[in-house]
Structure formats: C-alpha cells, structure tokens
Amino acid sequence: MGSQKTATYDGRIISSKTFYNVNGNTSEAADIEVMLSGPPNNGPTHGELYTNASYTAVFDVLNTYTDISVPLTLLQPKSVGEITLASADPRDFPSINPKYFSDADDLETLYKAVEIVRNLENTTAFQRLGIEPIILDLPDCDADYEKLSKDWWICSIQYLTIAGHHAVGTTRMGNDAKTSVVSSELKVHGTSNLRVVDAGVIPDSISGHTSTPVMMVGEKAAEYTNASYTAVFDVLNTYTDISLPLTLLQPKSVGEITLASADPRDFPSINPKYFSDSDDLETLYKAVEIVRNLENTTAFQRLRIEPIILDIPDCDADYEKLSKDWWICSIQYVTTAGLHGVGTTRMGNNSETSVVSSELKVHGISNLRVVDAGVFPYPISGHTSTPVMMVGEKAAELIKNEYA
C-alpha cells in the first residue's frame, strides 16, 4: 500500500473519502480515490447507473438499504482520449473517443486499489461490524477466469467501470502552440482576443473532482479580462474628461436566433454576429474621422479639449498607432453592444420571411399576437424603448377594435 490521506465528508450519500497513491511513487498527487458510500439507501442504485438489463441483473443481489459500497476512482488515468473536428462547420459536434483503458497500466492501478479494499475486510472495524464482501456474479468474467483471480478482477474492472466525466485537457494550457491551445493567460495561441475558460484548459487530470477547480479558472479569467480592460481605461479621469460614444444605428451585420430544442422552455441559441459584415467597421471608422475633426473646431480649441489616445496593447502591437487599421482594431476591441435587438419576429406580409402581420398576428396561428421589439422589421435609427411602447399602444388599440 502506498501513502494515504483521509478526509471526512459530511454527506447523505458519501460518508468518507480516502486518497491513495497505490503506485508508491513520490508524487503528492494521489492516483486512487476510495469513497465509502453507506446506508441507508445509498443513493442511485447501480441499476439506475447501468441502463442495460444484463447489468441490472448483476446488481440485483444488492440491498440498497443495508449494503455499503466502496467505489474506486482512478484519478490519474494514463489512457488518453481523442477529440477531433467532425467537419469544418463549427456547429457540428466533434468526434469524441475517450479510449478508456487503452493503457493497460490503468487496469493495474485499479487492481491495486481493489487489493486495498479487500484488505479492509481484515480490519477490526469491518470485522466488528460484520462487514463481508458481496462477490458479484459476472457471467462474462466467470466463464473465462478463475473467480477472484487477478485476471477475473481485471475483467470485472472493465465490466463494471463507468466514466467519472471529469474530462480535461481538450484545449490544454502550455507555452508551445504545437502541443497546447491556450497560453497561461488562457488566450488561444495565434488568435487575438479569444480565451478558453473551462476544464479543457487543465493540462492533465487532477487528483480530485473538477467542478471547483473550473470555477477557479473562471475567477482567474475574470481577473485577466478585467485587468486588461481596466488598464486600457485607467488613464481616463471620470470627473474631468468627456467622452463621445459612437452608436452604429443601421448595422449590416445580422445576428441569428434559433430554437435550441423543441421544448419551449429551453432558451434559444442567440448568435449576435457582431461585425460579421465588415462594412460596419468602415461606417464606424468614418464616424471616428468626424470626431477627430472636432478637435480642429474653434469651440474645442477654446476649451483646450485634446484627445486621449488609449494604449490598446493588442492593436498597438500589430498596427501603426492612429492608422486606419489601428482604429479598425480598436473599434473591435472597445465596442460594447447597445442591446437594441429587433427583428426576431419581424412584421411583414410574407409568412416565409416574417412572423407577424401588420396587425401583429402570428402568421398561420389564430389569436396570437407578438407585441415587442421583435416585430420591428429592421433596426431603427434611434433607441428602441419608446417605439416599443408605441407598439404596445397600437396592439391595445387593435385588440380593443377587434372585440368592440
């Protein structure tokens, strides 16, 4: 038996967890987690975990009110799965091959863990409580191997093991763009302004469960993002400086909203596709030129108003400061959404290209009106909330007239 660390866990299902380094190496990282799941009513029955009827039959001998189970978790698998793009379409699901037990060392490690658990039977505590092992009938293993031999256990491990679903490393962090996807600041190598913030960035399996470490990755990412934006705007004095925000009123970029499923309670998938039409960048650049011209006006000069040109590291590195390319980069960097979404249920006569009629009625459905900014056919050259109130007033009038 290797080094051992124990932690108690005050839960209904799991009463304790122990971490073992069964391979006896010098690493601090445990390679096996032993849980003690105890009665009453152990939680999900094995039959619920295994949906196949032949598996359910194997576990039918267990009594979920009185038996305890000692699940073993392989924390540092040597078997490495594969994830590959199924196509060039980013919306296609990737191909995932977890390749469980493709490295036979993982079976050996789990077998060592089985030996640890078998040794528990000889402890005073287990003997005092009269705890005896229930050796399952596993027809496929029983047929081929001597019961309880090492080969039988190795067979049963492959037969009974389920995935812990603690996948990591799909977009691993590292310095080398050939062997990793993101830098230590979570930025995708070779792509500006794109971070990955999930368990994919964890380079290797951790000796534990993944959800809390992933929350820490999220906190770290928020810190990085805040710091980079705060540094850009830190030069501004919010008491004395004036700002001239530019709003693109007629974007040519059009977003997409699609149903995520047939369940109306599911949130739809929304892809705003900001700046997917590069004309929008050109239009905003023309607006920048207008603002730059203000500096030459008598009014601005009399008040000694001078521009503050921000340091934007990602743009400064790639483009000559104040060149058109630099402004186009900075527009993409500092722009925020106005959140004046319209046209998701646009009004029109053609039911192929619109959702509601000029009376706000949904084409092809009786007695259903849409009354919100979704009915605007196109963005308006202004802010949306007052026009939406007018849509509401109009809808009230239409309904009153219909029932009058």
Ligand X SMILES: Cc1cc2nc3c(=O)[nH]c(=O)nc-3n(C[C@H](O)[C@H](O)[C@H](O)COP(=O)(O)OP(=O)(O)OC[C@H]3O[C@@H](n4cnc5c(N)ncnc54)[C@H](O)[C@@H]3O)c2cc1C
> Shortest distance, CB of residue 73 to ligand X, whole angstroms?
41
Which CB atom, from 205 or from 384, has the smaller least distance to ligand X? 384
Looking at this protein, which amino acid is placed at residue 166? H
Burial of residue 183, with CB atoms counted within 10 A of its CB: 0-12 exposed, 13-18 middle, 19 or more buried = middle
Query: What count of residues does the chain have?
Result: 404
The strand pair at 95-97 and 82-84 is best described as: antiparallel
Q: Which stretch binds ligand X (CB under 6 A): 197-205, 303-311, 358-366, 382-390?
A: 382-390
Q: How many Å apart are CA 360 and CA 376, to the nearest integer?
A: 10
Please check whether residue 224 is in contact with residue 185, taking contact to mean a CB–CB distance below 8 angstroms: yes
Q: How many Å apart are CA 189 and CA 175, to the nearest integer?
A: 9
**Contacts with 170 (C-beta within 8 Å, 6 or more apart), sequence order:** 83, 200
Q: Is 355 in the site for ligand X (CB under 6 A)?
A: no
Which CB atom, from 331 or from 388, has the smaller least distance to ligand X? 388
Which CB atom, from 38 or from 379, has the smaller least distance to ligand X? 379
Which CB atom, from 162 or from 389, has the smaller least distance to ligand X? 389
Torsions phi, psi for 95 (to 5 deg): -90, 125
Which CB atom, from 61 or from 254, has the smaller least distance to ligand X? 254
Q: Applying CB under 6 A, which of residues 58, 340, 355, 370 lies at the interface with ligand X?
A: 340
Which CB atom, from 212 or from 386, has the smaller least distance to ligand X? 386
**Which residues are 14's β-sheet partners?**
37
Q: Is 108 in the site for ligand X (CB under 6 A)?
A: no
Q: Applying CB under 6 A, which of residues 125, 163, 339, 390 lies at the interface with ligand X?
A: 339
Q: Applying CB under 6 A, which of residues 282, 383, 393, 397 lies at the interface with ligand X?
A: 383
Q: Is 373 in the site for ligand X (CB under 6 A)?
A: yes
Q: Is 343 in the site for ligand X (CB under 6 A)?
A: no
Q: How many other CB atoms are there within 10 angstroms of residue 333's CB atom?
A: 17
Q: How many chain residues are in contact with ligand X, going by CB under 6 A?
A: 9
Which CB atom, from 142 or from 372, has the smaller least distance to ligand X? 372
**Contacts with 58 (C-beta within 8 Å, 6 or more apart), sequence order:** 46, 50, 136, 137, 138, 160
Q: Is 390 in the site for ligand X (CB under 6 A)?
A: no
Which CB atom, from 143 or from 337, has the smaller least distance to ligand X? 337
Residue 298 corresponds to which tokens in the numbers above? 């008598």
Q: Which stretch binds ligand X (CB under 6 A): 78-86, 96-104, 147-155, 385-393?
A: 385-393
**Contacts with 342 (C-beta within 8 Å, 6 or more apart), sequence order:** 373, 374, 376, 378, 379, 380, 384
Contact letters for ligand X, residues 155-194 (x by CB under 6 A): ----------------------------------------
Q: Is 255 in the site for ligand X (CB under 6 A)?
A: no
Name the packing angle between helices 279-294 and 324-334 (round to 10°). Answer: 100
Q: Applying CB under 6 A, which of residues 145, 372, 380, 398 lies at the interface with ligand X?
A: 372
Q: How many Å apart are CA 348 and CA 170, to the nearest integer?
A: 46
Q: Which stretch binds ligand X (CB under 6 A): 109-117, 325-333, 351-359, 378-386?
A: 378-386
Q: Is 388 in the site for ligand X (CB under 6 A)?
A: yes
* Torsion, CA 234, CA 238, CA 240, CA 242, rounded to 10: 90
Residue numbers at the binding site for ligand X (CB under 6 A): 339-340, 372-373, 383-386, 388
